[in-house]
Amino acid sequence: MFHPRRGSSALEFVLVLPMIMGLFGAIIELSLYISTMHRVSRIARDSARVGSVIIEGPEADGSLIEEAATEHAELAIAAAGLTCDGTCDIEAEWYYDEDSEFMVIRIAVTLPHKGITGYMPILEEDGVRSEFYMLTQQQ
């Protein structure tokens, strides 16, 4: 005997499947982006911490502090398993903050983000950037 609703559940499944796959793909992309963002934030914070403990002496110009922070960021990127392909941007700056009257190290780390599904290309445009400020012991 023929039932007219026999194939309707299969048809509904076929119609809903692309939306479910798209949703799962977007969840995966967003999860990978958030994971990369967390790693980059940690790299920037740890690099600022490394730079903040360097003491250059009375004639300080900040070059050793900036160099230590930048070198640590490069090593941390490699240790985290993140790839740059020459497109990473690490900025370190040591300066006097007039509001707090302290010397501050600012480090900004930018890494490209390459998605695996391509469902969210907007996440790949600017990459992942984190900026961190920390007071230094060099005063």
Residues 19-50: tens digit of each pLDDT: 999 899 889 888 988 999 999 999 999 999 99
Within a domain: 3: no
Within a domain: 2: no
Q: How many domains does the chain have?
A: 1
Domain that holds residue 57: 8-135
Residue with tokens 């809903």: 16
pLDDT at residue 5, as a whole number = 66
**Reported pTM:** 0.81
Give pLDDT tens digits for 79-136. 988 877 778 899 999 998 888 888 899 999 999 888 787 777 777 778 899 999 998 8
Per-residue exposure over 92-123, b if at least 16 CB sit within 10 Å of its own CB, e if not: bebeeeeeeeebbbbbbbbbbbebeeebbeeb
Within a domain: 21: yes
